[in-house]
Amino acid sequence: MSDWTLIIYCGLITFLTRFSMIALLKKEMFNDRIREVLSYVPSAIFPAIIFPAIFLDNTGSIQIEDNPKILGAFIAMIVGILTRNIIATIFSGLASYWFLIFVV
């Protein structure tokens, strides 16, 4: 398969996952119960990207010791809870991460 064919397939599957529910579902198909459970979607999905990116090293093994990303993410989380500010959350995380790898 050429690079372009691969990309077009990946683009198509990306588009279809986004489009299928929008195109197929109708308003009447939602009751309060489904709505309530769906409100937990972000909490159910984002950690699946966050946790591996923080706790796993480049080879995919779990790395708990000597991992500045854990403290960086923890500080970002505390700042996030206290300030509820997106930019403050991200920058406190990046700043403490850089402090740990470049200064300490």
Partner 1 sequence: MNSNFKIFLKGIIDVSPLMIPVVPFGLIYGILAIDVGLSPLVAMGMSLIVFGGASQIILLQLFSGGASSLIIISSVGAINSRHLLYGAVVSEHVSDLKLVWKIIISYFLIDQAFAISNKYFKKNNNKNKYLHLVGGGFTCWVVWQTTSFLGIILGSAIPEKLGLSFAVPLTFLAILVNDFRKIINVIVILVSGLVAMFGYNYIPYKAYVIVAAFAGLVTALILTKMIKKQ
Name the site residues for partner 1 (rule: CB under 8 A). 1, 3-11, 13-15, 17-27, 30, 35-38, 40-56, 60-62, 69, 72-73, 76-77, 80-81, 84-87, 89-90, 93-94, 97-98, 101
State the nearest-atom distance from the C-beta of 103 to partner 1, in Å: 13
State the nearest-atom distance from the C-beta of 32 to partner 1, in Å: 11
Give the integer Cα–Cα distance in Å for 104 and 72.
13
Give the integer Cα–Cα distance in Å for 84 and 39.
19
The strand pairing partners of 14, in sequence order, are none
Task: Tell me whether residue 49 or residue 103 sits nearer to partner 1 (CB atom).
Answer: 49
Task: Tell me whether residue 48 or residue 103 sits nearer to partner 1 (CB atom).
Answer: 48
* Long-range contacts (CB closer than 8 Å, 24 or more residues apart) made by 92-97: 96/71, 96/72, 97/68, 97/69, 97/71, 97/72
State the nearest-atom distance from the C-beta of 77 to partner 1, in Å: 6
